Amino acid sequence: MNQLQDATALSHRPDATRAVHSRRSALYVPANNHRAMQKAATLACDAIILDLEDAIGPDDKPSARMAIKDWFGAGRPPHMACIIRVNALSSPWGMDDLVMAADCAPDAILLPKIETPSHIRAAQKALDDLNTAAHTRLWAMIETPRGLVNCQQIADTGMETDGRLDCLIVGTNDLAKETGVDLAEGRHLITSWLMQIILSARAAGLDVLDGVYNNFRDLDGYRSECEIGRSMGFDGKTLIHPSQIDTANAAFGATVEALAEATAIVAAFALPQNSGKGVIQMDGKMVERLHLEQAEKLLAKSKDRYGL
Ligand code: COA
Ligand code: MG
């Protein structure tokens, strides 16, 4: 690789200064369900996604849009991220949704059925033209065959100057519908797709959340899917029912032991005798600076969660 190519590659590395957030559990809340919207603000999930898309029928879209505006107007809960899922910008409702969402200045706007980088850039330009608050990020759903094959280019828009993309969400129900894959016996047939989405997110320094588990009365199956999702590398899970929150928080959160270990690693590298060292030993185990970075990220995530 020559010097010019090398410099180009380095300038495209993910931004290591990106804010760290706890995103163990993100609950969809249909924006036409007043009771659920009121309840959502009292729950222990890390994020709520007020939904104008799949959960809302065509006739209810305008009133659901107004309900979100009123909900934000009454004061959003401070202890959770508040996200609005709009309809696709190519749909009859998408642009009106986006204008309302920009006005609410949520933590993020979730764009469904993203298939190319141009979809992200179009939303970004519209938000910039509306003078949308800088803290309002974009999240993107990867849930179509084309979105899947273009996932890396989509994720990379998060590294562009003033790029708002922060997080990818897998839409497993739509993926199954669009591809014909049968998920009745579990997700083994789509594991490679899920890993590809996680890889694309990581290459661009983004967070990535797993799809929903439809059978919300099957808590054992749900717990198992959360634990596997955590092992695969997802940051958290999207949820459809309040009964799913605690399990996601436990599966994707850090244990007391992991937090204690992270604290010990940070303390060890802070000792004068270890300053500048690339590798140390703790209790007979090799600990490198990459472990220090992991420990710092874990602690930052739990700090975000508890609002300390
Ligand atoms: N967010 C907030 N509160 C919710 C909720 C949600 N997603 N789902 C249910 N609740 C509340 C109900 O309002 C009810 O509250 P209450 O005790 O104060 O009356 C309580 O939780 C128990 O609800 P339950 O009776 O068990 O469920 P339901 O039959 O009312 O609703 C669903 C079941 C699946 C229709 C509902 O959970 C739902 O709409 N989920 C989200 C669907 C969605 O957004 N899909 C699109 C993205 S995949
Ligand atoms: Mg969908």
Q: Report which protein residue has its CA nearest ligand 1's atom 30.
A: 36
Ligand 1 atom with least separation from CA of 37? 2
Residues of the chain with pLDDT under 50: 1-11, 307-308
* Rg, the chain, Cα only: 20
How many A from CA of 56 to the centre of ligand 1? 13
pLDDT at 305: 67
pTM for the full predicted model: 0.93
Ligand approaching nearest to the C-alpha of 212? 1
Query: Are 286 and 3 contacting, i.e. CB atoms less than 8 angstroms apart?
Result: no
What DSSP line would sit under 225-248, residue for residue? HHHHHHHHT-SEEEESSGGGHHHH
Q: Whose CA is nearest to atom 28 of ligand 1?
A: 241
Q: Which ligand is nearest to the CA of 147?
A: 2
Task: Please give the pLDDT value at position 306.
Answer: 56
Cβ of 37 closer than 6 Å to ligand 1, yes or no, is no
Bridge partners of 50? 29, 84
Ligand nearest the Cα atom of residue 32: 1
pLDDT confidence of residue 4: 47
Give the residues across from 282 on adjacent strands.
285
Task: Provide the pLDDT for residue 85.
Answer: 98
Check if the beta carbon of residue 149 is closer than 8 Å to that of residue 189: no
Whose C-alpha lies nearest to ligand 1, atom 40?
A: 240
Q: What is the pLDDT of residue 12?
A: 54
Q: How far is the CA of 196 from the centre of ligand 1 (A)?
A: 31
Count of residues making up the chain: 308
**pLDDT given at position 19:** 80
Which domains can be identified in the chain, with CATH numbers?
3-252 (3.20.20.60), 256-306 (no CATH)
Ligand 1 pocket member 213 (CB < 6 A)? no
What is the distance between the alpha carbons of residues 242 and 252, in angstroms, rounded to a whole number? Answer: 16
CA dist., res. 105 & res. 87, Å (int): 17
